[in-house]
Amino acid sequence: MLGAPFVAGFGWGRRGGERLPDDPRQWLADQLAAPDGARFPGLGDSADGLIALRTQRMEKMQGDPLVKPVFQAEVASQLGHVLTTDQPFRDRLCWFWMNHFTVSIRQGGTRAVIGAYMREAIRPHVTGRFADMLRAVMRHPAMLMYLDNTGSIGPDSRAGLRRRKGLNENLARECLELHTVSPAAGYSQADVTRFAAILTGWGVDMKAARPGFVFRANAHEPGEKMLMGRSFPEGEEGGLMALEFLGTHPATYRHIALKLVTHFIADEPAPSDVARITAVLHETGGDLKAASLALGDLPAARRPGRKFRSPMEYGAATLRALDLGFGPIAPENGHAPPKLFANVLSSLGQPLWAAPLPNGWSDKAADWTAPADMIARVDWAYRLAAIAPEVDPPELARDVLGPALRRPTLEAIRHAGSRREALTLLFTSPEFQRR
């Protein structure tokens, strides 16, 4: 009976009568051993998005006419994949790391490239080295634009002396505070400033035939630089060396271990669980596949209902339970599953790729369980139940909740006044709210 808690806790939720794994840990291992099965036909790369953005700006177009369809295609394709993937653990990891390395459409013109950022900088590295993912993220146009590094110029560089512009510390600060070592490492404000100097010249070439990352030597602060007691040479190579240093730092391993265990296991994780994942990262040089698989070996991983579902997890679990997401999707179909998914994210306070701050969305129940939040879930579940396919609510409850289904919930579903009410009771039950 361990299959149901694993599917709920490490995936997006069981699809209808989907067969539960006989060996839950092997279910996790198989997903990480196999290549990423995600396919996103018809989507361009970040250069295509930047060309659309550049054209809009050059021709002073109003209303985002070129970027909007790029963004909408990414939303439909990537949310559709969440609903249909048979590698839900691997996919959950992709979205976990996307939130760790938050880029938001709220600023920086990132709508044109945020979907490509997920596909180019996050997905290829979820079973690789953390330091490699870090390097891909820090060189991606989406991150450079979001945290304003494109305008960061070394004060003593040729461009700085000519234009009298200086450092922008946003990328350096968030990389240290949120992405790698965290404040627990004891770095100083001087380290932030020096790291920002290391990253000067890292930008986006919008004039190239295929726009993308560029290192501008004339904007780079000259000279050797210190960061957290280490010396790094000038030039792009110094930045790459600094990222390798930060990406393999013991404080970074502990920080990302804490975030992994908090996300998958418990809001207040046991120190021993965090120490175990930290040790795996140390022993493997930051191997994310090994660390992710080790999560399934933690004793607490066997307990159902250990985490409250965020809006994204709740929306995915509900739509997957109804087996929605398959088949062709007409653009004008307001009930298309990806559109329903995007709508529930907005309705429940977690609009897609629109985190208000660089620290992303919370993993903790307290931030999603206010009375207004819970009422919004009931309202959405009732609306969804009105258009749900023909299913038997008690049977569906047993399929998707397994041993977590409580007898009072099952009896309430059985005695509901209508099928719509029965499905609403299922999707708003305490056990469905948790994974």
pLDDT in tens, 368-427: 999 999 999 999 999 999 999 999 999 999 999 988 999 999 999 999 999 999 999 999
pLDDT of residue 2: 57
Helix/strand/coil for 28 = helix
pLDDT of residue 5: 67
User: Which of 155-159, 263-267, 299-303, 341-345 shows the lowest per-residue confidence on average (mean pLDDT)?
Assistant: 299-303
pLDDT of residue 17: 76
Cα separation values, 340 from 302, 325, 347, 361, Å = 31, 10, 10, 20
107 or 274, greater pLDDT: 274
Residue 331 — pLDDT band, cuts 50, 70, 90? Answer: very low
Helix/strand/coil for 288 = helix
User: Which of 9-13, 75-79, 316-320, 400-404 shows the lowest per-residue confidence on average (mean pLDDT)?
Assistant: 400-404
Whether 4 contacts 313, CB under 8 Å? no
Question: Average pLDDT over the chain, rounded to whole?
Answer: 95
DSSP secondary structure string for all residues of 271-282: HHHHHHHHHHHH
Q: What is the separation of C-alpha 53 from the centre of its chain, rounded to a whole number of angstroms? A: 23
208-255: pLDDT as tens digits: 999 999 999 999 999 999 999 999 999 999 999 999 999 999 999 999
Query: What type of residue sits at position 251?
Result: A
Residue 334 — pLDDT band, cuts 50, 70, 90? Answer: low
Of 176, 196, 174, whose CA–CA distance to 185 is shortest? 176
Cα separation values, 116 from 78, 88, 110, 354, Å = 10, 20, 10, 15
Residue 332 has pLDDT above 60, yes or no: no
pLDDT of residue 303: 84
Where do the H-state alpha helices sit in 34-129?
46-58, 67-84, 88-100, 114-117
153-203: pLDDT as tens digits: 999 999 999 988 899 999 999 999 999 999 999 999 999 999 999 999 999
pLDDT of residue 302: 84
Whether 401 contacts 321, CB under 8 Å? no
Average pLDDT over residues 291-299: 96
Residue 318 — pLDDT band, cuts 50, 70, 90? Answer: very high
Whether 27 contacts 6, CB under 8 Å? yes
112-123: pLDDT as tens digits: 999 999 999 999
